[in-house]
Structure 1
Amino acid sequence: MNNGVTLSATDFERQKNIQAAIYTAAIAGVLLLLVFLIKFYQPVAITPPQEEYIEINLGSSDVGSGNDQPQLPGEPAPAQQAAYTPTTAVPQATSEPSRDIEESADNEAPPVYKPTVTRTDAKKINEETKVERRPTTTANTTPTPAPP
């Protein structure tokens, strides 16, 4: 009699495990199918519109203050490059030492006066008066704890 009850209990557990495995496999299969079928698209990048600029020629000098204005719009012509000519060093025949002093004919700057040095003599210390030094005592005042 016990044998019949245990047989049906093990059969029930087996059926339950098979049914759980089928449900698990079905859910995993559906998720795997969704992964392959659903595709996430990257959004299309919108390119900004091309901005239109106006080219302004301010002249031919590096500073931009020339009188050379082209009448026809378009690409500027390539600049002509001058050939390099090395300069020769000229020896200086002056015997006067060079100074880094800027001389001016204007009398706008005030004259610079050298300050006069005043010497103050040290006062004599009264030798009869002496400083008395007191001995410093350091009192060790650490509180002692009361016994419990």
Structure 2
Amino acid sequence: MDAVELTRRLTGMRLITVATVTADNRPLTGPFDGYFLHGAWWFSSGPDAVRIRHLRARPAVSATYLPGEELSVTAHGRAELFDLHGPECADLRRAMLDFYLPKQGPAFQEWMDGLVGGVGVRIEAQKLFTFSAA
């Protein structure tokens, strides 16, 4: 699958599983609303979330999008953390609004605008693996 096809197939929100590492080197995974923007996975969370604390201390991260047997996209790399309301996260915020405003209405934007300390995360992939059966 080339980059154009990958980008076409990863539009909108895609549920991804993100893996971080605990202080005693245990892996911890969990789901996030992922957005594939400009060739990188992005997601967001609160500043005190367990995985955000892990990434602040140990930025090694992996994420996988696996909607079924026909497609898989896995990124391994380093997490870069940003203020969700800062300019670096403008595309992430726009993608979140594009996805959730039609579903939840203006209340979603009010909620997002009111988040204090929200963190946007970009995975700077050192390796990106894809599989497509189609």
With CA pairs under 8 Å and 6+ residues apart, which has the higher RCO, 1 or 2? 2
- Structure whose alpha-carbon radius of gyration is higher: 1
Q: TM-score scaled to structure 2, two decimals?
A: 0.13
Q: Which structure: greater helix fraction?
A: 2
Q: Which structure: greater strand fraction?
A: 2
